[in-house]
Amino acid sequence: MAMDARSSNSLFTHIASRELFRVRKRPRMEGFVSAFNETGYVAVQHNAEDTIPLSLSFGKTTKFAHILAVSDEDGYVSLFDTRRKCPLTSNFEENREEEKICDWVSHQNAVFDTCWIKEDMQILTASGDQTIKLWDVQEQKCLGVLIGHTGSVKSMCPHPTNADIIVSGSRDGSFRIWDLRCKSTAKGRRGEVSICSMGGVNGAHVSSQTRRTRRGKAASMSITSVLCLKDQVSVASAGAVDSVLKFWDTRNLKNSVTQTCPCPQSIEKQSLHGISSLSQDESGLFLSASCMDNRIYLYNTLQLEKGPVKSFSGCRIESFFVKSAISPDATNIVSGSSDGNAYVWKVDKPLEDPTILKTHDGEVTAVNWCSFEIGKFATCSDDFTVRIWNKNSYVSRTQCASAVRRRVMAIPSTECKILLNNGKRYSKTDEDAFLPDHKLHPISSPTPITPPKVNLSEGHTNQLSSSGFDPNAASQKTPESALKSPSSVLNPPSSLKRTIRDYFSASPRTL
């Protein structure tokens, strides 16, 4: 019996050693992973002295989208080519000389905002000297000075279809509308042409709850940010006094069309937290507001009465220099922070922890997305540097079975049945042949969140033209252009008064 037991054990041992019943486990996979990598950085300095950058702006056309304009505390505007790849081992000064295109003194004061217009041939600079200047980029020549504010100009935004129309917000508590075609005959000390505003609102964000300081002075009524919305007639504004966003019809500026805030049902009871910046995605459907309560709120411009649809937390917004921006495709929001980091959230997953970018050594202030390179953005900081970031997405080596099934089901059903019935093992090229063009590269070109297209009737089109927002109007001042300026349409008949909602023909997409 002992012999039989030994032979029996050896038999099973032999079978086991052949691994007849062992199957290699299929690896578990985690799917797509996204990360933001630093691809470049430069020091902002002039005459060998560091200066603090205050605003960033990528070019707005495909041809010049790689050019980044940086304004700073000393009044300079510097242009950098972000396509040039400098080794990360090199120092800031070397990178600056390698990537710098040009720079010039635009104001004898800090420049708080910059804005590209006219196919990136011109740039606007908003300054603490209470003026806005229009510059020819190639010649670095001043083409005009926008005069009218009585406080530092903190923000500006061009009209979405007519670059001659500009809206600006100032520390004097007003926002103003400008028509670059309507130039004055008066000239400044340096022979610069003056341009006066065509209209505006004073005290646009004066709160009934205005707090008093120890010296009895009223809290700041500064306009911190303005936006020209995509409906071509509405302006959004925000201020330092509270978190209320106001929306205005540029053809009738007597009263705001509507307003909203994080707590619309209890405006009188809420804490007074100012807004440091506003931004909108390429479609104009979503608007983000960076609030001094350390949150970033996301609004649907077609559902303003509902208040913010989402909020994002994690960063520290302790000064009005800390900005945030939603990406053009509305997939991410990036924000600076007073703790020296930059934060990036996924718009569709607000409860997830943000990606934290930790390379800056001072308060991270202005941020800006590149319009034509998805996932690319820039940040600047009080550490005198500007850093460029790119989003890299990849598939990890491990992935769950459900993710594999989702990828298989993405193939059209007819081809999927053929593969399953024939048991054919397809290659990547086979799969690409089945997928439409816009799905061949889902990682580098994610599908943006866009609203329904705007269908304007002929009457609406004529109405926009009559309101001074005709994109085909001549750039020089003529009698016709004067009649088409915003000042001629501030009080239209009541039958012509429309709001932002009238320019969208279908219900908005839900988040």
Question: How many structural domains compose the chain?
Answer: 1
Asked which of 96-100, 129-133, 147-151, 431-435 is least confident by mean pLDDT, the reply is 431-435
Res 186 pLDDT > 80: no
Which structural domain range is residue 71 located in?
39-209+217-394
Three-point CA angle 41, 46, 51, nearest 5°: 65
Q: Looking at the domain assignment, is residue 402 inside a domain?
A: no
Q: Looking at the domain assignment, is residue 458 inside a domain?
A: no
Residue 300 β-bridge partners = 286
Q: Looking at the domain assignment, is residue 192 inside a domain?
A: yes
Instruction: Please give the pLDDT value at position 453.
Output: 42
User: Any idea what the CATH number is for the domain that residue 89 is in?
Assistant: 2.130.10.10
- pLDDT tens-digit map of 134-152: 999 999 999 999 999 999 9
Banded model confidence at residue 500, pLDDT cuts 50, 70, 90: low
CA atoms of 133 and 146, how far apart (whole Å) = 6
Q: Looking at the domain assignment, is residue 511 inside a domain?
A: no
Selected residue with higher pLDDT from 16 and 163: 163
Instruction: Please give the pLDDT value at position 90.
Output: 52
CA atoms of 69 and 103, how far apart (whole Å) = 9
Is residue 208 within a helix (H) or strand (E), and if so which, with residue range? Answer: none
Res 161 pLDDT > 50: yes
Q: 295: closest CA among 330, 345, 368?
A: 345
Banded model confidence at residue 17, pLDDT cuts 50, 70, 90: low
13-22, 24-33, 195-204, 329-338: which is most confident: 329-338
Q: Looking at the domain assignment, is residue 127 inside a domain?
A: yes
Q: How many CA atoms, within 13 angstroms, populate the side-chain half-sphere of residue 378?
A: 28
Give the contacts of 401 (CB within 8 A, at least 6 positions apart).
26, 28
**3-state class (DSSP) for residue 314:** coil
Residue written as token pair 């001074």: 468
**DSSP secondary structure string for all residues of 435-455:** S-GGGSSTTTSPPPP-PPPP-
Going along 148-269, which residue ranges are E strands?
153-158, 165-170, 175-179, 183-187, 193-196, 199-201, 223-228, 234-239, 245-249, 258-260
Q: 426: closest CA among 412, 415, 413?
A: 415
Instruction: Please give the pLDDT value at position 255.
Output: 87
Banded model confidence at residue 13, pLDDT cuts 50, 70, 90: low
Q: Looking at the domain assignment, is residue 122 inside a domain?
A: yes
Q: What average pLDDT score do residues 365-387 get?
A: 96
**Predicted model pTM:** 0.72
Q: 76: closest CA among 43, 42, 48, 52?
A: 52
Percent of the chain with pLDDT over 90: 54
Res 335 pLDDT > 80: yes
- pLDDT tens-digit map of 111-122: 999 999 999 999
Report residue 277 as tokens.
């910046």
When the pLDDT of each residue in the chain is averaged and rounded to a whole number, the result is 76
**Length of the chain as a residue count:** 511
Asked which of 412-421, 468-477, 485-494 is least confident by mean pLDDT, the reply is 468-477
Report residue 60 as tokens.
């707005």
Q: Looking at the domain assignment, is residue 221 inside a domain?
A: yes
Residue written as token pair 């016709």: 480
Q: What average pLDDT score do residues 151-172 get?
A: 96
Instruction: Please give the pLDDT value at position 172.
Output: 95
Res 265 pLDDT > 50: no
Is residue 77 within a helix (H) or strand (E), and if so which, with residue range? Answer: strand 76-81
DSSP state of 253: -
Three-point CA angle 80, 86, 89, nearest 5°: 135
